[in-house]
Amino acid sequence: MTVSRRMVLGSSVAAVLAVGLAGQALAADPVRIGEINSYTGLPAFTIPYRNGWELAVEEINAKGGVLGGRKIVVVSRDDNGKPDDAVRIANELVTAEKVHLLAGTFFSHIGLAVSDFAKQNKTLFIAAEPLTDAITWEKGNRYTFRLRPSNYMQAAMLVEEAAKLPAKRWATVAPNYEYGQSAVAVFKELLKAKRPDVEFVTEQWPAQGKIDAGSTAQALAAGNPDAIFNVTFGPDLSKFVREGTLRGLFEGKPVVSLLTGEPEYLDPLKGEAPEGWIVTGYPWDQIDTAEHKAFLAAYQKKFNDYPRLGSIVGYVTMKTAAAALERAGSTDAEKLVDAMQGLKVDTPLGAITYRGSDHQATLGAYVGKIAVKGGRGVMTDWRYADGAAYLPPDEVVAKRRPQ
C-alpha cells in the first residue's frame, strides 16, 4: 500500500469517527424546556401541576428521551403572578438558558403576555392553563398553542345545564381581570343564545385574591336573582361560599360554577362544600378508564398523594412537548410550530388534538354536581364533556382570529 493511499484511508476513517462522535454528542445534548408559572401566587394548583410535569419528564426520559436519545431538561421559573416578571423570565430563558421552547403560565393576563413574547421572538409557547379566549382567538398567533379547555368551551358545557333551569334572572360574580371578564362575557353570550328570555340583573367584580365576600354576597342578594354564575376560585371561592351560605344567598337559587369541582378548590371547603352546585371539575377517584388508572397509579407511587386537575395539566403539557419534538424531528422553532398543527397526544383523559385553525387542544372537562359525602365535597352525576364537541367551527374562528 502506497503512502498516499494510507493517508487517504486514514483521513476517511478519521472523518467517519468525527461524524460518529459528533452524532453522539448531539444525542447526549438535552432538549431544554423553559417553564413559567405562578408557583407562589396559587400553589394549590401549581404545585400539583409541577408534580404532573415532573412525572411526565421522568417517564419520557426513562423511555429514552426524544430525538434519538436526548433527555428533556426543564428550566422552571416563578413569575410571581406578574406579567412583567413573566416576560422578563421568558427572555432570560430564551437568551441565557437557551431553551428550545416555552411552556406553562396560569393566569390569563400572564399567558397573554408570554404569548406576545413568543410571537415577537418566534419561539413555540405551549400555554398550559390560561383560559381566556383571546389567547387562541383575538390575540392568537403562530407560535402559541393552548392545552386546557378555554372559557368558551367550559362555559358551553355549563350552559347546556344552565339552559335547562327555570331561572330567568341571573347574577354573575367573577374576579376582575382577563379570565373573569372573558368567562362572564362568553357565558352570557351562550346562555342568551339558548334562552333569549333570560336577563342578567347584577354583576360583581371583586379583585382577584382580595374579595370582600360578605359585601359581594350582599350585593348579589340585592339583585334578587333566580340563579348565579360563579367564576371565583381558590381562597376567594372559599370565602364566597362561606359568606354566601351564612347569608342564605344560595337558598333556593341554582349556582353554576366554573372550576369549582376541581379538587384544588373543592377539597379546602371540606364539609362546607356547596351541595347542588353545577360545576366543571375533576372526579379523580371515580374515573375508571385504563388511561387514567395508569396515570393515577404512577402519580400516587411517585408522590404518595392524589392528583389534582393541575397534575393532569402539567403532565399533558410535557407529553405535548415530547410529541411535538418527535413529530418535528428537530428543536427548530418553525418545525416545532408546524408539528403542533393537528398534533395528536394521548392523555390520562383520552386522546386529544391541537386544532390547526386556532391552536386549541380538544382536551375536555368533567361536568357534574357537588355533594357532600364523608365530610368532604365530591362530584356526582358527572360526565366527561369532550372538548372537540364544544369548539366553534373553523369558519367562526376565522372571524375572530388574526390571519
- Tens digit of pLDDT for each residue in 183-241? 999 999 999 999 999 999 999 999 999 999 999 999 999 999 999 999 999 999 999 99
User: According to CATH, what is the number of the domain 27-150+288-364?
Assistant: 3.40.50.2300
Domain ranges of the chain: 27-150+288-364, 152-286+366-390
Answer yes or no: is pLDDT of 25 > 60.
no
Contact, 265 vs 239, CB < 8 A? no
pLDDT exceeds 50 at position 152: yes
What confidence tens digit (pLDDT) does each residue in 265-301 have? 999 999 999 999 999 999 999 999 999 999 999 999 9
- According to CATH, what is the number of the domain 152-286+366-390? 3.40.50.2300
Task: Report helix, strand or coil for 99.
Answer: coil
282: left (phi over 0), alpha (psi -120 to 50) or beta: beta
The predicted structure's pLDDT at residue 402: 86
- Per DSSP bridges, beta strands 169-173 and 227-230 are parallel
Structural contact between residues 201 and 210, judged by C-beta atoms closer than 8 angstroms: no
Separation between Cα atoms, residue 105 and residue 45, nearest integer Å: 11
Contact 348, 295 (CB under 8 A): yes
> Would you say residue 10 has pLDDT above 70?
no
